[in-house]
Amino acid sequence: MTTTTEFKAWRVQEQDGDYVGSEQGLSTADLPENEVLIKVSHSSLNYKDALSASGNKGVTRNFPHTPGIDAAGEVVESSTGEPAVGSSVLVTGYDLGMNTAGGFGEYIRVPAAWCVTMPEGWDGRTAMIYGTAGLTAGLCVQKLLTMGARPDQGKVAVSGASGAVGSVAVELLAKLGFDVVAISGKKDHADGLKALGASEVVGRDALAAEKKPMLKPTYANAVDTVGGQPLAELLKQIQPGGSVSCCGLVAGPQLETTVLPFIIRGVNLLGVDSVEIPLTEKAAVWKKFAGEWACPKAEATARDIGRGQLDGALKAFLKGESSGKIVLDHSL
């Protein structure tokens, strides 16, 4: 028999054309019809959550809404039997937190096909330190490796390096033996980025707009988390045959480039989506992060916040001031 449980959620509603988030009391009867009810212990903060919370209709059409594109917790009801009641799961992407109530609530109800069994040795907090951002960093690195990227080819650049995706990408690439150049707009994060494994930290002006159609081939490969003009400049600086994994748009969704990096140097621009890919692909990357791809430094520097601190933390994302991984702990 289905029981109804009262719970707390951080909900965003429209007020006189503005979007305001606050803690509200809800019931599991308010959640959408779906196969699996999960008691969420932790969620993770992402740029997309900040867009949803600011009323971006490209992310969330209808308000009031509970953001949170990531969630980890325990299955309390399962109409399909798999995942089983009592098991620990994590959910990232698909429609969670976009138009389906997300992990900023203490309960979510989602399709069974969205649930990944918690990797062995992990708890909800560890999973959410990585979250969608970590998964995306892993997918970016995996695409470079699939294209044949090797440490002996030369430096690999990571843009938006102090961000949630960038910081995991820096640590993972360094761990795999790459010589990582972190590109960051935050001067005061240089030591932190070196501690994650970057051999060099350069300012965002390394990707400032240049009139020249091609530049010195400085990097063998790159992970770009910012898009826009900086990505266009990065493409001009990639060595022949190199690749750039592209996942983000904090510097803008437009990409104004010539075809020259592609046809003169054979550069590969690799698109990365962590949201709609098959669950098996997500599970394979999670398994790696729980094993040989573990990023203990990113884990150690993650910050935990409660629902009461969500507002400020999400606004920092929109201003480009966020750094590292932030975990929402529903028990705080």
Cα(281)–Cα(188) distance, integer angstroms: 36
Quick note: the x/- pattern for ligand NDP over 241-260, rule CB under 6 A, is ------xxxxx---------
Size of the site for ligand NDP (CB under 6 A): 33
Instruction: Report if residue 290 touches ligand NDP, rule: CB under 6 A.
Output: no
Cα(78)–Cα(216) distance, integer angstroms: 56
Cα(186)–Cα(321) distance, integer angstroms: 8
Length of the chain, in residues? 332
Burial of 187: CB neighbours in 10 Å, binned 0-12, 13-18, 19+: exposed
Alpha helices by DSSP H, listed for the chain, are 47-53, 124-146, 164-175, 190-196, 228-236, 260-264, 279-289, 296-301, 310-318
Question: Which among 22-30, 71-79, 155-163, 291-299 is the span making contact with ligand NDP, rule CB under 6 A?
Answer: 155-163
Nearer of residues 220 and 226 to ligand NDP, judged by Cβ = 226
Q: Supply 203's token pair.
A: 């300012």
Single-letter amino acid, residue 91: V
Alpha carbon of residue 280 to chain centroid: 18
Instruction: Report if residue 166 touches ligand NDP, rule: CB under 6 A.
Output: yes
Half-sphere exposure of 89 (CA within 13 A, CB side): 30
Instruction: Report if residue 21 touches ligand NDP, rule: CB under 6 A.
Output: no
Instruction: Report if residue 161 touches ligand NDP, rule: CB under 6 A.
Output: yes
Nearer of residues 76 and 195 to ligand NDP, judged by Cβ = 195
Instruction: Report if residue 78 touches ligand NDP, rule: CB under 6 A.
Output: no
Q: Which of 28, 44, 60, 322 binds ligand NDP (CB under 6 A)?
A: 322
Instruction: Report if residue 226 touches ligand NDP, rule: CB under 6 A.
Output: yes
Q: Which of 132, 237, 243, 245 binds ligand NDP (CB under 6 A)?
A: 132
Nearer of residues 83 and 160 to ligand NDP, judged by Cβ = 160
Q: Which of 225, 237, 245, 268 binds ligand NDP (CB under 6 A)?
A: 225
Nearer of residues 88 and 136 to ligand NDP, judged by Cβ = 136
DSSP secondary structure string, 275-291?
SSS-HHHHHHHHHHHTT
Question: Which among 27-35, 43-51, 60-68, 170-178 is the span making contact with ligand NDP, rule CB under 6 A?
Answer: 43-51
Q: Nearest residue to ligand NDP, using CB?
A: 163
Within residues 45-74, the interface with ligand NDP by CB under 6 A covers 46-48
Alpha carbon of residue 308 to chain centroid: 22
Instruction: Report if residue 138 touches ligand NDP, rule: CB under 6 A.
Output: no
Beta-strand relationship, 6-15 and 200-203: unpaired
Binding-site ranges for ligand NDP (CB under 6 A)? 46-48, 132-133, 136, 160-166, 184-186, 204, 225-226, 230, 247-251, 272-275, 317, 320, 322-323
